[in-house]
Structure 1
């Protein structure tokens, strides 16, 4: 059995009561690289695709240039780097190649970027992806970092086609939206189709740390193509599978037989790994200790030339007639459940608002605000209550509030509680 990854399974309660009906339990499944693997770093084939349209004037373009310069300083000399800028046209100001050959010249070119023009994102994406395609190498992390602060005009379908092609070629796009005036649905879909992600940059001062974090996270993507098979005992029914670290995401699952389900994990961070929260319905049982599932994770380690390695962990629970035992809960996992619930409530509220169900959206936003307050997230709770008030008064949510709730509630679990 492979030992490059540590796979552990912990239930929200170790004991359930003996009953005649189904019961819901939550399994926290954590997968992390071992100490040796966690010290590894991947070489990069990294493309910056940067909006320099007129709306980027001032602090935005200044902080963007600072962010690129600092991100470059975090890279190794043999990392491959390209920089593409776009407005209503696009230009590759640095073609893909080793950073060692261009560091000084590249920084000078970045500092000469000026803001102006409209926004056509597909032009920049097309040129930027071409540079990464041209240098593609399986032993590197091949990735595009996209930043925009505005709506792209008339080329959304082309952007999505490019994102889909990037995903098919294993080139994820990390899409960052700066400020309030950008299309979050488009960036979310670009991230999803490419196998990447999307995020909110609330202010120009946040560009620098987010660029640095993206580069460092890419360097730590040492476990590739991970997927989990959850083998369930007869009678155990899966309901939902949530990623809880590095951020909250509804992963869903694919049935692969009568009792097995498959969950894609993608690349794993060398230090943090990933944690999943799996909702399971248990059948009635007599008192005793039972295995209810087995988690198996398959993965590749390019730096070690390992393909298709596997590791397993059993999920064990006890049925009891002792009422005191049955009332004992794992506080850390219950805290995670509360955070996922808050995320689900605001997600459903946004969906209700889009469908015109103002009353339903308002109720869910206020429920989310209550949960967030209980979690100590006062800023997000205030945002949820403010958007509920906006809905009641005008029938609409603000662009800034919508984005804040959509993206910040994803990050409620970024620091996993101690179990």
Structure 2
């Protein structure tokens, strides 16, 4: 069997104290080997873009430059399509080869702003174009950008994304500025194991588009899913993705003491990493197999499906030795904890629990200060103070908190931020 993936495990602390039940944190990392990461993936790249009246000025000009850069980055064997939407959708570039770049960019240059916002029309037309390019040896990716609220068709948008997920189309959903619905974009991305993000300034649009293109082209394996077979007495509590961005993945029980975690596509760099929080039984001193981890995945470049990589997850318990902390894994635990606190704070604020939201934001800010994330900590402290005085965070502050905490692990694991 070809060895495409290196699967490694690291406990945050080991050995653990014997004789007591406790929470353990396990970092699982899947890193494509050089062989599977050597050649760029052939991609089917669909773009669904807001051209409503609020996009006028620097927004639409930056958008057009970003799309043209994507076209320049794609190879002749790739396919590309461009759909724009206001109240209705227009297909600017039907699904086609990315070879004739001049002709494609001329079509993009013709985009003009108009009308209001009905995202479902764009998603429906974009999905139709994306489906034309789906093939077993291609990576299908949809890049969605909007700067505003879509009115009354959110459920249709979610339904389209839920159809695209099983078809292998991964969505990157970008919100530009401060007036869009972050929950909707998060849902679109989650339905396809994709990512959502916040573009605060139009001049950064090109950077985010290039990152999405690079992610598609560097896809080494597709439809990755992690199977965890747990030892007697071991129970999962939470599973968080930590690369490329933090997300609560959840898990699906598929048998007694066996759970499935959908990971989606895995890029050559940085790979995929998940942090598993689990309750461990009161074991006597000794070495135990806490779980077996199995990664199941497809390799699109070679049209291979259901490839497998397994590793036993061993853990030591001791009645005398003090636990040794793995600094890198524990740092990730702290960053995920800050993400969880921020998420719960915004949920409680939305539910009207101001005291609970304020307390959690301040706790998150304290952890962020310890981690050296000074600007984000300052934003959370300001938001907490505003809430305590009867106000609330601005739309920009809320989006910064929501998405900056998702990015907390980028520099930690890859050495580069977005």
In which range does the TM-score fall when normalised by the shorter chain?
A: over 0.9
Structure-1 separation of matches of 2:171 and 2:24: 35
User: Among residues 386, 393, 396, which one is paired with 1:397 in the alignment?
Assistant: 393
- Match status 1:91 vs 2:87: no
In structure 2, the CA distance between the partners of 1:155 and 1:259, relative to structure 1 (3 Å rule), is: closer
Structure-1 separation of matches of 2:191 and 2:299: 24
In structure 2, the CA distance between the partners of 1:225 and 1:201, relative to structure 1 (3 Å rule), is: same
Structure-2 separation of matches of 1:146 and 1:306: 29
The aligned counterpart of 1:9 is 9
In structure 2, the CA distance between the partners of 1:113 and 1:305, relative to structure 1 (3 Å rule), is: closer
Give the match's secondary structure for 1:93. Answer: strand
**Aligned counterparts, 1:131-150, within 5 A:** 131-150=129-148
Asked whether the 8 Å contact 2:48–2:145 carries over to 1, the reply is yes
Range moving further from structure 2, 286-295 or 350-359? 286-295
Number of corresponding residues: 414
* Structure 1 residue 7, shift from structure 2 partner: 0.5
Runs of 4+ in 1 over 4 A off after TM superposition: none
Q: Structure 2: which 5+ runs fail to align? A: none
Q: Structure 1: which 5+ runs fail to align? A: none
* Structure 1 residue 320, shift from structure 2 partner: 1.5
Give the match's secondary structure for 1:7. Answer: strand
The aligned counterpart of 1:209 is 207
* Structure 1 residue 244, shift from structure 2 partner: 1.0
User: Among residues 221, 224, 242, which one is paired with 2:222 in the alignment?
Assistant: 224
Asked whether the 8 Å contact 2:14–2:323 carries over to 1, the reply is no
- Match status 1:266 vs 2:261: no
- Match status 1:378 vs 2:374: yes
* Structure 1 residue 193, shift from structure 2 partner: 2.4
Structure-2 separation of matches of 1:168 and 1:306: 17
Range moving further from structure 2, 309-318 or 187-196? 187-196
**Aligned counterparts, 1:186-265, within 5 A:** 186-265=184-263
Structure-2 separation of matches of 1:298 and 1:166: 20
- Match status 1:368 vs 2:367: no
* Structure 1 residue 203, shift from structure 2 partner: 0.6
In structure 2, the CA distance between the partners of 1:131 and 1:149, relative to structure 1 (3 Å rule), is: same
The aligned counterpart of 2:69 is 70
Asked whether the 8 Å contact 2:130–2:142 carries over to 1, the reply is yes
The aligned counterpart of 1:45 is 44
Structure-1 separation of matches of 2:267 and 2:350: 35
**Aligned counterparts, 1:310-329, within 5 A:** 310-322=308-320, 325-329=321-325
The aligned counterpart of 2:26 is 27
CA deviation string 1:364-390 (max 9, x = no partner):
011111111111111111111111122
* Structure 1 residue 356, shift from structure 2 partner: 0.3
* Structure 1 residue 280, shift from structure 2 partner: 2.1
* Structure 1 residue 2, shift from structure 2 partner: 4.6
- Match status 1:307 vs 2:330: no
* Structure 1 residue 417, shift from structure 2 partner: 4.8
- Match status 1:354 vs 2:353: no
The aligned counterpart of 1:112 is 110
Structure-2 separation of matches of 1:310 and 1:243: 20
Give the match's secondary structure for 1:247. Answer: coil
Give the match's secondary structure for 1:45. Answer: strand
Give the match's secondary structure for 2:165. Answer: helix
* Structure 1 residue 253, shift from structure 2 partner: 1.3
Structure-2 separation of matches of 1:73 and 1:374: 42
The aligned counterpart of 1:57 is 56
Structure-1 separation of matches of 2:38 and 2:290: 34
* TM-score (normalizing by structure 2): 0.95
CA deviation string 1:46-93 (max 9, x = no partner):
111111111111111111111111111111012111111112232111
* TM-score (normalizing by structure 1): 0.95
In structure 2, the CA distance between the partners of 1:156 and 1:273, relative to structure 1 (3 Å rule), is: same
Range moving further from structure 2, 178-187 or 165-174? 165-174
The aligned counterpart of 2:404 is 408
CA deviation string 1:217-265 (max 9, x = no partner):
0111220111111111112222111111111111111222222221111
In structure 2, the CA distance between the partners of 1:142 and 1:23, relative to structure 1 (3 Å rule), is: same
Structure-1 separation of matches of 2:324 and 2:353: 39
Structure-2 separation of matches of 1:172 and 1:290: 38
Give the match's secondary structure for 1:150. Answer: coil
Structure-2 separation of matches of 1:314 and 1:65: 49
Structure-2 separation of matches of 1:351 and 1:292: 34
User: Among residues 119, 122, 125, which one is paired with 2:120 in the alignment?
Assistant: 122
